[in-house]
Structure 1
């Protein structure tokens, strides 16, 4: 009896994992199709004025690079201002940023820590001034470097009618370690197979924490109350509930520093999964109900996206099937568990891994060295399972964990 119940539960888990995997695999194909779609791109004169915000907590090692970088964009200097938020800093972040020409906003608050709170405070400080005349805000992380045409591309998209945009998140240090390479493959794949697919299908892209742009009127209308561990995900869901989709700016590139070690990576990804579980608990039902009422598939897509940590665990449970068949189930009648699903998931996994190099090739990111990293990339993917479990357990822990950034590069070394 217990075996029958366990078997039934396993079948349900596998069916859900199967549907989840098939959904994302099928939508990924549209990311490939987007590359070949003939959507004309327009170039507009510089019309939009930007306020650029860089939240920074003890970032003296890297803040000078991005401030210098932003001073040389291919966009009129009078059409953008740079604001560095020195958030609870105990080093020379503020001094270096100011010497580089940025406007420095110094914030001390031991109770409300984290990037979301820093942005909330800075937006209020800057955007509600009487002399503020900005059309849009752009957010970068302190460790980033930015393509010279970033604001030019955002200006074009805003003039085309977009209100919220996410830029292409590239890697600043893809070959520093097997961890940074794995991160880079994951982000490159997401850009092409997830973000481009949603842009092509008319769904909402996801804000990725850096390199995003928001129309000031939208920001003032719905407010920035996204202060959890994944403020980018929370703000995306809030936008969607207010009928505002996130567009994709593929040619607006931001280079992000990836963690060097497994320990750093584990802490960062655990924070992401904590935030996902938190956002899911507060937004999943709202998004799902609204999607059904309004027959809005974009809302449904966002609702499914918030389930990520739970679905990762479900997919992980399917890997236990061979052991369960050996040590628990001894009845040949349990054929759906013992034969069909394991074979299907093997075939499905191979197809998914073959799709990744295709996506990388389309964006000029593929090289044969990446094949050498595929075994370690597979290991990186497997670590999401225990990280997701830990994230769900710790979802009510809202303490922000800062990732140390040390990779000093200039944009000239990358582009």
Structure 2
């Protein structure tokens, strides 16, 4: 668990990991107190976890902290390593559920991500809805189709054999997207551990969310630059996997997908005369059908469907904010500084 000044949330996270119903001698819980100036390391040890303290301010950030810690762990004693963010909690059967997709040694996997503050505001409701769409519908469908499941940084796991063979190979500001591209291009299967539930905070304000979105967008653009050509040329994956990987890296946000589709449809309809413009507009509209169907499926079995639907009234404002974030990101692509998302105490 990489943690930078996480004294606000570290105890709850460690407590949930220590409470897993899994044999103690078959698990190891390690907190990487990375360039901390608070009580993160002390609170982690008090909760029962191991604490590795790292002080390298010139090489700060989650990827380097993970690489540093992995170099000190004998991975041959273990089947896999799972990365958990400090603002998270795991279900009691988390480790047992990972065992259901064993053997883990030679695969990458992603735990089932849930939002623990989903019902706090319209913004967290939209975030919770997106999480449900991905993890309850989209990712299971990908698995059924033989496609790799994206990894999201929190709850991602790596077989020990892969780490022994390749080491930690991602150091960008979005190490999860980079690792997804690396392992997908190499033909390594990435599984969805649907029963291993992980609960994390959704940003409660647009200000909190902006830091994340800028990092994600800039990082994915960088990954496509570096790995796009390699994935296209790869002989280890099918054309379906190549296409799906580009969609995941390029249009992973449904809201951005809707904005792009609307812009393409409007431009084609207004600027291109005759059938060509109409067909392009229709194609753009059809491209969002999957988003619409997935949303309907999730809403139909949502615990609070009407209140969640009411949050859709804020979508125009949210879409405008996303456009501003995208534009500001495009002007600062060379800034690869890792920035921590602001935390608030868990409910």
- Secondary structure of the residue aligned to 1:125 is coil
The match for 2:44 is 97
Query: For structure 2, which runs of at least 5 residues remain unmatched after alignment?
Result: none
Q: Any idea what the Cα deviations from partners look like across 1:243-270, whole Å, max 9, x if unmatched? A: 2110011111100111111111112111
1:78 is aligned to 2:25: yes
1:408 is aligned to 2:346: yes
Match of 1:171 among 90, 95, 115: 115
The match for 2:201 is 257
Q: Any idea what the Cα deviations from partners look like across 1:77-118, whole Å, max 9, x if unmatched? A: 111111111111111111111111110011111222211111
Contact 1:257/1:407 (CA < 8 Å) preserved in 2?
Answer: no
TM-score (norm 1): 0.75
The match for 2:62 is 115
| Alpha carbons of structure 1 residues 350 and 241: separation in structure 2 relative to 1, 3 Å | closer
Contact 2:14/2:47 (CA < 8 Å) preserved in 1?
Answer: yes
1:315 is aligned to 2:286: no
Map 1:296-315 → 2, pairs under 5 A: 296-308=239-251, 312=257, 314-315=260-261
More displaced stretch, 295-304 vs 186-195: 295-304
Contact 2:111/2:197 (CA < 8 Å) preserved in 1?
Answer: yes
Q: 1-side partners of 2:9 and 2:200: how far apart? A: 11
1:208 is aligned to 2:152: yes
Map 1:9-408 → 2, pairs under 5 A: 54-127=1-74, 133-159=77-103, 163-291=107-235, 295-308=238-251, 312=257, 314-315=260-261, 317-318=263-264, 321=267, 325=270, 334-336=273-275, 349=288, 352-361=291-300, 367-377=305-315, 379-381=317-319, 383-408=321-346
How many aligned positions are there?
344
Contact 1:70/1:146 (CA < 8 Å) preserved in 2?
Answer: yes
Contact 1:55/1:84 (CA < 8 Å) preserved in 2?
Answer: yes
| Alpha carbons of structure 1 residues 91 and 285: separation in structure 2 relative to 1, 3 Å | same
Q: 2-side partners of 1:367 and 1:361: how far apart? A: 7
The match for 1:14 is none
| Alpha carbons of structure 1 residues 62 and 290: separation in structure 2 relative to 1, 3 Å | same
Contact 2:126/2:308 (CA < 8 Å) preserved in 1?
Answer: no
| Alpha carbons of structure 1 residues 389 and 194: separation in structure 2 relative to 1, 3 Å | farther
Superposition CA RMSD, Å: 2.8
Larger radius of gyration: 1
Q: Any idea what the Cα deviations from partners look like across 1:16-72, whole Å, max 9, x if unmatched? A: xxxxxxxxxxxxxxxxxxxxxxxxxxxxxxxxxxxxxx1111111100001111111
Q: Any idea what the Cα deviations from partners look like across 1:216-275, whole Å, max 9, x if unmatched? A: 111111221211111011111111222211001111110011111111111211110010
Contact 2:80/2:104 (CA < 8 Å) preserved in 1?
Answer: no
Q: 2-side partners of 1:195 and 1:77: how far apart? A: 31
Offset of residue 138 of structure 1: 1.0
Q: Any idea what the Cα deviations from partners look like across 1:358-391, whole Å, max 9, x if unmatched? A: 13545x5552221111222454355433433333
Contact 1:166/1:246 (CA < 8 Å) preserved in 2?
Answer: yes
Q: 2-side partners of 1:264 and 1:85: how far apart? A: 23
Offset of residue 147 of structure 1: 0.8
Contact 1:283/1:303 (CA < 8 Å) preserved in 2?
Answer: no
Offset of residue 304 of structure 1: 3.8
| Alpha carbons of structure 1 residues 122 and 369: separation in structure 2 relative to 1, 3 Å | same
Contact 1:116/1:227 (CA < 8 Å) preserved in 2?
Answer: yes
| Alpha carbons of structure 1 residues 263 and 305: separation in structure 2 relative to 1, 3 Å | same
